[in-house]
Chain A
Amino acid sequence: MMKDMINVALPKGRLGEKVYSLFESAGYACPAVLDPGRRLLFENEDAGVRYFWVKPSDVPIYVERGVADAGVAGKDVLLESRPDVYELCDLMLGRCRMAVAAKEGFVDDASRPLRVATKFPVIAREYYASRSREIDIIKLNGSIEIAPLLGLSDVIVDIVETGKTLAENGLVPFETVVGISARLISNKSSYKFKSRAIREMEEKIHREAAKKEDGLR
């Protein structure tokens, strides 16, 4: 029987390269992937895998619609877009956290709605709803840190890696909303019909991720 080919959507960029190297060490190499150039589709028939690079926030769309059988997306993207997919394992890569940050010395004034600037309105809304705090969401697409400085918002809800960008702008993270890392996701239907191949991939990736994690300790 012909081996099932798994189509994998990888997130373009720095995280994607780390993710690919994890796949490579788990036995899903496809050396052409890292060639500089404009090609977006790569295949290694022997390993049973076909990769394509897409914008990180688009990965769940390709997977949900079944064009990709599997993919790798940040937990932030999954929480924000709520795709109808399986979340199979934590790659423990691209670790950071979603946090609330504000100017140093900020005190929440409960007498009026809290103004929250963010790229992640779904996550922010849910977080504050869970604490019954009324908010006014200001959806921005970048340079979130500037919002409290200019008085556009009271706080921001954003991804914090090292906290350096925040600190440079005089902001401090004071609450963690949720921890973030890269996850292996799969299409629900593909999981049924390429079951063996996808479950094998899940297992190998999981093992490899755990091994790397141990190595870091």
Chain B
Amino acid sequence: MDLSQKVRLSAAEAAVFSLRSLYESRGYGRFKVSKFEEYDFYASCKSFLMSENVLTFTDSTGRLMALKPDITLSIVRSVGASGEKPKKVYYNESVFRDSGDGNGFREITQTGLERVGDVDAAAVCEAAELACMSLELLRGSRPAVLDLSHVGVVSAILDSEGAGEAVREAVASLMGDKNAGELSRLAAGTGISPRGAERLAGLATLYGRPDEVRDELYAAAGDVPGCAPALDELYSVAASLPEELKNMLRFDFSAAGDMKYYTGAVFRGYIDGIPRAVLSGGRYGGLLPEYGAHDGIGFAILTDLLEDRGGGRGATLVFDGAEV
């Protein structure tokens, strides 16, 4: 019987294959995780999860288990436990999250990569380059952009203002909304100085290519103590990208308020015609200190979103029955 066949791949399936091949070519190994983990693990790191809602069940031995809401935490724990660092891995897995829009829990397929341990300047540049290359593979004929920002800029401003936890949370949410109006009114009642509020509002509205926004960015943060390393890092990442990818990069600080999870560079990737970010990630530190792996960088791509593009750019997979 002849088993050779042609299979039509959907846009999302084709994306997964092309991303795998990209990541493997750069020395990232496939990392396979199971779909569930003991609930206690997530209960201990709730603050890193986007939502406190985790889908749980009891396994045959009576332990409370959770369907994974996040892959990064599992990778960091596993790498920490193995003690072998640094580690470059990629994954293609499902996570289960509360959609938050009344549709209940959803299975979301993610393809992503993580580099755990030993994150230096070159590692940040590599992650940014791979994020751009991933978008380049997925965008088809449509434009794509990678938003880059740095948590260090926002946290240096907040440190210089002596802001407390509640103010930081409010700032993160307002930055995320690009709500410059309310950021500039923060000065009333929160202990943030008018100049500090103006800085934050300036960062929230800033958007554009690195060279276009340089003056604006330095006006908002250039003279803040502790900001310089973050600003330097942003511009050195921008300069490190290959010419053909530079065009894709924008500075946008709306994701840079997320100080619970990220500690350095933050990425968000968009493709024209897809209403949400298809790629998100960044540098994290202090995740799961009890497991020994402190530092890492990575990003995830929501491949399901690629299907929204009305069929998009599929591909044909030909496999030979003899080799299957």
Q: A interface vs B, CB < 8 Å? A: 64-66, 82, 84-90, 187-193, 195, 199
Contact = CB atoms under 8 A, between A and B. Distances in A.
A86 B178 CA distance: 5
A198 to B, nearest CB: 10
Interface of B: 100, 143, 145, 147, 177-182, 207-208, 250, 252, 254, 270-277
Contacts of B145: 192-193
Nearest to A85: B177
A193 B272 contact: yes
Contacts, number: 54
A66 B309 CA distance: 12
A88 B182 CA distance: 10
B275 A64 contact: yes
Contacts of A64: 275
A89 B182 CA distance: 9
A127 B288 CA distance: 32
A87 B270 contact: no
Given A86-B254, A195-B207, A199-B207, A189 B272 contact: yes
A191 B272 contact: no
23 contacts: A64-B275, A65-B275, A66-B273, A66-B276, A82-B100, A84-B276, A85-B177, A86-B177, A87-B177, A87-B182, A89-B180, A89-B181, A90-B181, A188-B270, A189-B271, A191-B178, A192-B252, A192-B270, A192-B272, A193-B143, A193-B145, A193-B272, A199-B207
A90 B178 CA distance: 12
Contact of B270 (A82, A85, A189): A189
Q: Which interface residue of A190, A191, A193 has the most chain B CB atoms within 10 A?
A: A193
A172 to B, nearest CB: 25
Contacts of B179: 86-88
A74 B169 CA distance: 23
Given A188-B277, A189-B277, 14 more contacts: A66-B276, A86-B178, A86-B179, A86-B254, A87-B178, A87-B179, A88-B178, A88-B179, A187-B275, A189-B276, A191-B178, A193-B143, A193-B145, A193-B272
A188 B275 contact: yes
Contact of A192 (B100, B147, B182): B147
Contact of B275 (A82, A87, A189): A189
Contacts of A65: 275
Q: Which interface residue of A65, A84, A187, A192 has the most chain B CB atoms within 10 A?
A: A192
Contacts of A188: 254, 270, 275-277
The 4 closest A-B pairs by CB, nearest first: A66-B275, A86-B178, A87-B177, A193-B272
Nearest to A198: B207
A65 to B, nearest CB: 5
A17 B254 CA distance: 31
A188 B275 CA distance: 7
A4 B275 CA distance: 16
A82 B181 CA distance: 18
Contacts of A195: 207-208
B274 A189 contact: yes
Q: Which interface residue of A64, A87, A90 has the most chain B CB atoms within 10 A?
A: A87
A53 B64 CA distance: 48
Contacts of A88: 178-180
Nearest to B145: A192
Given A65-B275, A82-B100, A86-B254, A191 B177 contact: no
A85 B177 CA distance: 6
A187 B181 CA distance: 18
